[in-house]
Structure 1
C-alpha cells in the first residue's frame, strides 16, 4: 500500500553515503535536496557540504541541487559550492528531476537522488525512475507544513522498516 513511497535506501546522513561505491556501480550524477539533507533548514553551505561537493567532483560526479525554495535561498547555499541548481522545483513533479539530469548530462540509469522527505523528494525521484536515498532530517526545527508531513512519514517508515526486517529474515 505504501510501497510507492518507500525509498530505495534509508541512511542516517548524506555524509555517510559511500559515493565512491556508487561511482563504481556506474552512477555519474547526484541530485540533492538542500534543507535538512545537506544543512539545517535555511543554513548556508557549511564546511562539510563544501567538502562533500569537492569530493564528488574529485570522484567524477556531476551534481545538481533541486529545491522547492525560491532562488535567493538556493543561490545563497550554492555560492561557494558552484554546482548546477534548480529552484522552485515543484517536487514531487518529475520536471525538475529531468531538467537536473539534462544539466548533468546523465540519465535515469546513472543518476541517484538524495533527500530527507518521502512525499516530495523520494516520491518525485521514484516517479521519475531514479534511484533514491532517504536521509534522516538533520535538524528538527521545520516549517509547519513539513512538521505535519513528518507525522505521515513516520507511518510509512514504520511499514518500510517492517518490510526491510522481513526481507532480511529470508
Structure 2
C-alpha cells in the first residue's frame, strides 16, 4: 500500500552521497530540493552547499534546483551556486521534473533526484521515472504543513524500513 511512496534510497544527508560513484554508474544530472535537503529552511547557500556544487561540476554533473518556493527564495539560495533552477514547481507534479531534465540535457535513465520529503520530492520523482534519494531533514524547524506531513512520513518510513530488513 505504501510502496509507491518508498524512496529508492534513504540516506542520512545529501552530504554523504557518493556522487563520484553515481557518476561512474552513468548518472549525469542531479535535481535537488533546497530547504532541509541542502540547507535549513530559508537559509542561504552555506560553505558546504557551495563546495558540493563545485564538486558536482568538477565530477561532470549537470544540476538543477527544483523547489516549491517562490523565485526570491530560490534565487537567493542560488546566488553563490549558479546552477539551473525551477521555482514554484508544484511537486509532486511531474511537469517540472521533466523541465529540469530538459534544462540539464539529461533523461530519466541518467538523472537522479535528492530531497527530504516523501509526498512531494520522492513521489514526484518516482512518478517522473527518476531514481530518487530521500535524505533526513537537516533541521527540525519547519512550516506547520510540513510538520503535519512528517507524521504521515514516519508511518511510510516504518514500513519502508521493515521491507528493507526483509530484503537484506
For normalisation by structure 2, the TM-score amounts to: 1.00
How do residues 1-170 of structure 1 correspond to structure 2 at under 5 angstroms?
Answer: 1-168=1-168
For residues 31 and 18 of structure 1, the distance between their equivalents in structure 2, rounded to whole angstroms, comes to: 15
Gaps of at least 5 residues in structure 1 are none
Instruction: Provide, for residues 99-147 of structure 1, a one-character-per-residue CA deviation record: whole Å limited to 9, x for no partner.
Output: 0000000000000000000000000000000000000000000000000
For residues 136 and 15 of structure 1, the distance between their equivalents in structure 2, rounded to whole angstroms, comes to: 11
Instruction: Provide, for residues 66-119 of structure 1, a one-character-per-residue CA deviation record: whole Å limited to 9, x for no partner.
Output: 000000000000000000000000000001100000000000000000000000
For residues 72 and 56 of structure 2, the distance between their equivalents in structure 1, rounded to whole angstroms, comes to: 24
3-state SS of 1:63 partner: strand
Q: How many residues align structurally?
A: 168
Q: CA deviation at 1:29?
A: 0.1
For residues 77 and 96 of structure 1, the distance between their equivalents in structure 2, rounded to whole angstroms, comes to: 19
Gaps of at least 5 residues in structure 2 are none
What root-mean-square deviation, in Å, do the aligned CA atoms of Structure 1 and Structure 2 show? 0.2
For residues 54 and 15 of structure 2, the distance between their equivalents in structure 1, rounded to whole angstroms, comes to: 13
For residues 96 and 106 of structure 2, the distance between their equivalents in structure 1, rounded to whole angstroms, comes to: 14
For normalisation by structure 1, the TM-score amounts to: 0.99
For residues 166 and 127 of structure 1, the distance between their equivalents in structure 2, rounded to whole angstroms, comes to: 25
For residues 73 and 38 of structure 1, the distance between their equivalents in structure 2, rounded to whole angstroms, comes to: 13
